[in-house]
A and B are shown apart, each in its own frame.
Chain A
Amino acid sequence: MTLAEFNPGGLLVAGGLLLPLLRGKFRALFLLLLPVAGLVHLSVLVPGMHGVVDFLDYELVTLRVDRWSMVFGWVFMIAALVSAIYALHLRAPLQLSAGMTYAGSAIGAVFAGDLMTLFVFWELTAITSVLLVWAGRGAKAYQAGMRYLIVQIASGTLLFFGAAILFTSTGSLEFGAIGLNSAGGWLIFIAFGIKAAFPLLHAWLPDAYPEASEVGTVFLSAFTTKLAVYALARGFAGTDLLIPIGAAMVVFPIFFALIENDLRRVLAYSLNNQLGFMVMGIGIGTEMSLNGAAAHAFTHVLYKSLLFMSMGAVLYRTGTAKASELGGLWRSMPLTTAFCLVGVASIAGMPFFSGFVSKSMIVSAAAQGGYLFAWAALMFAAACMFLPDIKIPYFAFFGRDSGKKCQEAPINMLVAMAIAAAFCIAIGLMPGRLYALLPYHVAYAPYSVSHVLAQLQLLLFAGLAFALLVRWRVLPLAEPGINLDVDWLWRGLGASVVKTVARVFEIGGYCLGALLSFKLSLFSGMVERHRLPDGFLSRSWPTGSMSLWVMLMLVAYLVLYYLGG
């Protein structure tokens, strides 16, 4: 067995579990060493199916190396390294351990060659990542984490049952193209869709991410949703349904992002919008668009974590990430401001930054494929999303001076941000290196004159619009409060469903003389006990009635046998 037989995710998972055993400098060193070792591990992998193990009667492929898994493997490992550096100042071993195992299980899932292995890592990402949400501390984080966990586990369960159905019909567990031709395919599609935050299934994302700790959100933003994008690209490339879904995803978060006050939640909405680009790229399904989706996932992981890192640094130093409480921080945190601007330039698709070279691929693919409607949605979103994107640095670092004075971010945070920013610029300047990694060999030149000009025009007008909105005092719409979006559906409907179920149980309980008045509380995930011990089924019976049951059963069996035999 050589190193090339092992799933590189396993290294991070195992190492992450060992982290709490170490102390002080050793822990910091080990934390850095893990992703570095992971990068070395990635470089020795050879394409093909490896690590085949027999489990039950099946052959599981724990390591599948091809161009798809490698491109995601690289970017996830880089993100793990950047996040590890960003987390170096932490003295909370549980959080570090959860972060590393989470990154490891996401990488493990990317290299999974069959649905069973995928499912195991899929669930592992859910369980480890919820610890990061809970690390945000406080009742809000606990409840958001609980909702997040339920949704993620539901996704895993759907995946499992979908895989089981596929297996019984095809006899194969291979994780290849799945398609929507069977019930199993649909279940898996929905499972992936939940993690990819499809419209209406997305509520968990803006709900949970802003509640996590400042380090936790950086980890969270990198892996879960991009893992889902990867899974969709594997299983459902060219599925037409993804095009309207992607179009909805790019358009609807704009409004929410615009009115939101919590800047980390703004980032969560803009993340959702960016996912829409990738989903649409997968839906179009040409080699060019799939390349675009992969490239966009790659650049997106880096600039999105850069943005979350800069907001995390602000939160760490000032204790808040709310637009209404911030402003004028560029004096205190000049470097963080600069890095944040690089991130915004990338996400907005400014030429010579990373977002431009990947986003334009998807847009071009939509135009070439004749998807006029999709192309229009993408252009509209690219222009409008600039408003909330620019809102982040404007309200945090410039704008009205809040009078807050603080220190620059800690050195480890700055280093992490510098690395991510360097990647953003380097990819923007030398897109060829990224293109060489992509799944398909397609010649694409992002820097044509018309392209650059069109994009610049777009951004210029969007910038003008932003300036006017500020000038006319339409922005900031900084009303502190909860912006529920469709989450009202889940919170409201979910609660009423739970109450109804509890009601039905209650009525059934009265009929049985048992299960007396209890209520299920979804938000705390806890069941409160009331008078149940008095219930007919759970109380201790007198010996006489037990014997009576024995006689009843005997009669039942006798009648059954005599009638049947």
Chain B
Amino acid sequence: MALAQHLPALQVILPLISAPLAILFRRAGPAFLIVTAAAWLSFAIAIALFLQVDASGLISYPMGNWQPPWGIEYRLDRLNSFMLVLVSGMAAIVLPYARGSIEREIPHESHYMFYAMLGLCLTGLLGIVITGDAFNLFVFLEVSSLSTYVLIAMGRDRRALTAAYQYLIMGSIGATFIVIGIGFLYLMTGTLNLADMVPRVAVIESSRPGLAALAFISVGVSLKVALFPLHQWLPNAYTYAPSSVSAFLAATATKVALYALIRFYFTVFGDNFVFGKLPLPEFMLILSLFAMLFANAIAIFQDNLKRLFAYSSVGQIGYITLGLSFDSVHGVGASIMHLFNHGVAKGAIFLLIGGAVARMTTRQAAPPAPTFERIAGLSKAMPLTCFGVVLGGLSLIGVPGTAGFVSKWYLVLAAMEKGQWWLVGAILVSSLLAVAYVWRFVEAAYFRAPPAGRETGKEAPFALLIPGWLLILATLWFGLDTSFTAGAALDAAQQLVHSGN
């Protein structure tokens, strides 16, 4: 099976080719078909790779048959094969949704550009995850970032442009920092292959350039992660982007950046050094707590639903970094699980809100912002949409039976293992904040009377409802059957934590 050997390459190349093809056709229909087909194929490949890694362990794929330390290597272990499933799966769900939702958000003549950009963004994100080469990682980071700026700027709201511009500046600063960090590492070790770097970094990591490299990479990646207080670009970007883009980014972009953070901290520098010798755990813990408490508290006061859930994302990222800072199998496992669980739930919520907005949009007009005033009494008109958002919200709170509970449970367990009982309290408080903002939605949608003169008397279009509900069902499924998420995440954490570096 020659083809089966090349699956790692095809994983990235298929969406990469789909983008220029989409542009060549210059028409929405074919562009949609090509990019969607590429996304579905890459989802299938991701599952195949996941199973392969599950069965036989590490996969190393030399790009162009150039052997690893010199050529670019694609390297798959438990962690990134799991991430590939999340990223490609979200693309596979979001693309069919986008066809219906961008109708009223983006002028018809630029639809093919939209699909091409989404294809490129997917390429970049998959590339970051799969590659085993530091510079290659930076290139893919730029591919995904540049396409993301374009995607956000396509939002119909005029503020989308400023949001995209700000994200462009911040993203570029972040990327520059990352490339500076990688440059330092290259200077000191003479290699760009991450696996090859590991033993060499161990020698130089305490040197000043080594520490500077770590600092630059920390800040650069934290920016892309939107780790408090570098999260300021995120709320505007998610709020004003087209619905499908908000959902895709919320579910994947920050998650992939978190993956990069885990890769650098745990694999390249080694957690024994980063978390054992440097005072990073305390610092990360403080930032995570700020994110969990402040971002969630700010979310309560937002008037625009998309913005509310954007801030909630910043808060949820706090849980993930909190888990990392524990540097234990349960803690890191909880983080990796939460990457997935939160991505699915938040993606679902943004998709469902997008569906409601599409229904509220009158012809030719710009889509209205989903403010609490507008969604008052929405449950009468759109029972399925509202119920879905509530279920997704329950997962954000961490109610048993939803995926969010599983990851939070392990997080609490990890905190208890460390004897940090007060952190259990902090997690509880931030969950209560989540209850408050989800309740605001329930209160508005179920208990308030609809505003006079709203003409939307119908459920969101089914083409937009089904993808959202698929993800909601996934949230419930992974809340009950944890063998895939918890199994893969704990395995990955086992590989990462105290791996002897």
A: residues with CB less than 8 A from B are: 55-56, 116, 119-120, 123, 142, 157, 161, 164, 168, 515, 518, 524-527, 529, 532-533, 535, 537-538, 540-541, 543, 546-547, 549-550, 553-554, 556-558, 560-565
The CA of A139 and the CA of B174, in the complex, are separated in Å by 52
Contacts of A116 in B (CB 8 A): 400
Number of interface residues of B (CB under 8 A): 57
Does B232 contact A157, Cβ atoms closer than 8 Å?
no
The CA of A142 and the CA of B212, in the complex, are separated in Å by 58
B169 proximal to A (CB < 8 A):
yes
Shortest distance in angstroms between A58's beta carbon and chain B's nearest beta carbon?
A: 10
Shortest distance in angstroms between A272's beta carbon and chain B's nearest beta carbon?
A: 28
Given contacts A56-B409, A554-B177, 5 further A-B contacts (CB under 8 A): A157-B428, A168-B416, A529-B303, A562-B211, A564-B278
**What is the chain A residue whose CB lies nearest that of B208?**
A562
B230 proximal to A (CB < 8 A):
yes
Contacts of A526 in B (CB 8 A): 439-440, 443
Does B400 contact A547, Cβ atoms closer than 8 Å?
no
**What is the chain B residue whose CB lies nearest that of A153?**
B435
B: residues with CB less than 8 A from A are: 165-166, 169-170, 173-174, 177, 205-206, 208, 211-212, 214-216, 218-219, 222-223, 229-230, 232-233, 235-236, 277-280, 283, 294, 297-298, 300-303, 311, 399-401, 406, 409-410, 412-413, 416, 424, 428, 436, 439-440, 443, 447, 480, 482, 486
The CA of A553 and the CA of B311, in the complex, are separated in Å by 20
Residue B301 contacts which of A55, A120, A532, A541 (CB distance < 8 angstroms)?
A: A532
Does A56 contact B211, Cβ atoms closer than 8 Å?
no
Residue B401 contacts which of A120, A157, A515, A547 (CB distance < 8 angstroms)?
A: A120
The CA of A556 and the CA of B279, in the complex, are separated in Å by 11
Contacts of A157 in B (CB 8 A): 428
Contacts of B214 in A (CB 8 A): 557, 561
Closest 7 A/B residue pairs (Cβ): A557-B215, A532-B301, A561-B211, A564-B279, A564-B278, A538-B298, A558-B215
Does B170 contact A541, Cβ atoms closer than 8 Å?
no
Shortest distance in angstroms between A248's beta carbon and chain B's nearest beta carbon?
A: 30
Does A547 contact B416, Cβ atoms closer than 8 Å?
no
Does B443 contact A525, Cβ atoms closer than 8 Å?
yes
Contacts of B413 in A (CB 8 A): 168
Main secondary structure of the interface of B (DSSP, over half): helix
Does A538 contact B428, Cβ atoms closer than 8 Å?
no
Does A565 contact B223, Cβ atoms closer than 8 Å?
no
Residue A563 contacts which of B219, B232, B236, B279 (CB distance < 8 angstroms)?
A: B279
Shortest distance in angstroms between B147's beta carbon and chain A's nearest beta carbon?
A: 21
**Given known contacts A56-B482, A538-B298, is B230 in contact with A549 (CB within 8 Å)?**
yes
Contacts of A525 in B (CB 8 A): 439, 443
The CA of A565 and the CA of B212, in the complex, are separated in Å by 11
**What is the chain B residue whose CB lies nearest that of A538?**
B298
Does A560 contact B279, Cβ atoms closer than 8 Å?
yes
The CA of A518 and the CA of B280, in the complex, are separated in Å by 35
Does A560 contact B283, Cβ atoms closer than 8 Å?
yes
Contacts of A538 in B (CB 8 A): 298, 301-302, 311
Does A553 contact B222, Cβ atoms closer than 8 Å?
yes
Main secondary structure of the interface of A (DSSP, over half): helix
**Given known contacts A533-B303, A553-B229, A562-B211, is B278 in contact with A55 (CB within 8 Å)?**
no
Does B232 contact A553, Cβ atoms closer than 8 Å?
no
Does A547 contact B412, Cβ atoms closer than 8 Å?
no
Contacts of B482 in A (CB 8 A): 55-56
Shortest distance in angstroms between A148's beta carbon and chain B's nearest beta carbon?
A: 15
Shortest distance in angstroms between A186's beta carbon and chain B's nearest beta carbon?
A: 15
**What is the chain A residue whose CB lies nearest that of B421?**
A165
Contacts of A533 in B (CB 8 A): 301, 303
Contacts of A558 in B (CB 8 A): 211-212, 215
The CA of A421 and the CA of B314, in the complex, are separated in Å by 58
Shortest distance in angstroms between B260's beta carbon and chain A's nearest beta carbon?
A: 16
Does B279 contact A527, Cβ atoms closer than 8 Å?
no
Does B277 contact A518, Cβ atoms closer than 8 Å?
no
Contacts of B215 in A (CB 8 A): 554, 557-558, 560-561
Contacts of B174 in A (CB 8 A): 550
The CA of A560 and the CA of B281, in the complex, are separated in Å by 11
**Given known contacts A543-B170, A557-B219, is B400 in contact with A120 (CB within 8 Å)?**
yes
Contacts of A527 in B (CB 8 A): 300-301, 436, 440
Does B298 contact A537, Cβ atoms closer than 8 Å?
yes
Does A546 contact B436, Cβ atoms closer than 8 Å?
no
**Given known contacts A515-B297, A565-B211, is B280 in contact with A540 (CB within 8 Å)?**
no
Shortest distance in angstroms between A277's beta carbon and chain B's nearest beta carbon?
A: 33
The CA of A537 and the CA of B301, in the complex, are separated in Å by 11
Contacts of B211 in A (CB 8 A): 558, 561-562, 565
Contacts of A524 in B (CB 8 A): 443
**What is the chain A residue whose CB lies nearest that of B174?**
A550
The CA of A471 and the CA of B482, in the complex, are separated in Å by 69
**Given known contacts A164-B412, A532-B301, A546-B232, is B218 in contact with A557 (CB within 8 Å)?**
yes
**What is the chain A residue whose CB lies nearest that of B307?**
A538
The CA of A538 and the CA of B277, in the complex, are separated in Å by 35
Contacts of A142 in B (CB 8 A): 447
Does A554 contact B219, Cβ atoms closer than 8 Å?
yes
The CA of A55 and the CA of B439, in the complex, are separated in Å by 28
**What is the chain A residue whose CB lies nearest that of B222?**
A553
Residue B406 contacts which of A56, A161, A518, A564 (CB distance < 8 angstroms)?
A: A56
Does B229 contact A560, Cβ atoms closer than 8 Å?
no
The CA of A194 and the CA of B302, in the complex, are separated in Å by 34
Residue B169 contacts which of A56, A537, A543, A556 (CB distance < 8 angstroms)?
A: A543
Does A554 contact B169, Cβ atoms closer than 8 Å?
no
Shortest distance in angstroms between B375's beta carbon and chain A's nearest beta carbon?
A: 14
Q: Can you sample 22 A-B contacts with CB below 8 Å?
A: A55-B482, A56-B406, A157-B428, A161-B424, A161-B428, A527-B301, A532-B301, A533-B301, A535-B301, A538-B311, A543-B165, A547-B170, A547-B173, A550-B173, A550-B223, A553-B219, A553-B230, A554-B177, A557-B219, A563-B279, A564-B279, A565-B206
Contacts of A564 in B (CB 8 A): 277-280
Shortest distance in angstroms between B29's beta carbon and chain A's nearest beta carbon?
A: 37
Contacts of A541 in B (CB 8 A): 232
Q: Quick one: which of A157, A515, A533, A553 has the most chain B CB within 10 A?
A: A553
Shortest distance in angstroms between A53's beta carbon and chain B's nearest beta carbon?
A: 9
Shortest distance in angstroms between B160's beta carbon and chain A's nearest beta carbon?
A: 13
Does A565 contact B277, Cβ atoms closer than 8 Å?
yes
The CA of A333 and the CA of B120, in the complex, are separated in Å by 76
The CA of A335 and the CA of B443, in the complex, are separated in Å by 42
Contacts of B277 in A (CB 8 A): 564-565
Contacts of B222 in A (CB 8 A): 553
Contacts of B229 in A (CB 8 A): 549, 553
Contacts of B416 in A (CB 8 A): 164, 168
Contacts of B236 in A (CB 8 A): 540
The CA of A173 and the CA of B294, in the complex, are separated in Å by 34
**Given known contacts A543-B166, A561-B214, is B301 in contact with A550 (CB within 8 Å)?**
no
Residue B480 contacts which of A55, A537, A549, A563 (CB distance < 8 angstroms)?
A: A55
Does B219 contact A561, Cβ atoms closer than 8 Å?
no
Contacts of A543 in B (CB 8 A): 165-166, 169-170
Contacts of A560 in B (CB 8 A): 215, 278-280, 283
Shortest distance in angstroms between B111's beta carbon and chain A's nearest beta carbon?
A: 29
Q: Quick one: which of A116, A518, A538 has the most chain B CB within 10 A?
A: A538
The CA of A116 and the CA of B174, in the complex, are separated in Å by 44
Contacts of A565 in B (CB 8 A): 205-206, 211, 277-278
**What is the chain B residue whose CB lies nearest that of A561?**
B211
Shortest distance in angstroms between A284's beta carbon and chain B's nearest beta carbon?
A: 35
The CA of A524 and the CA of B439, in the complex, are separated in Å by 11
Residue A537 contacts which of B294, B424, B443 (CB distance < 8 angstroms)?
A: B294
The CA of A161 and the CA of B216, in the complex, are separated in Å by 40
The CA of A563 and the CA of B279, in the complex, are separated in Å by 9
Does B303 contact A550, Cβ atoms closer than 8 Å?
no
The CA of A563 and the CA of B280, in the complex, are separated in Å by 11
**What is the chain B residue whose CB lies nearest that of A53?**
B480
Q: Quick one: which of A168, A554, A557, A563 has the most chain B CB within 10 A?
A: A557
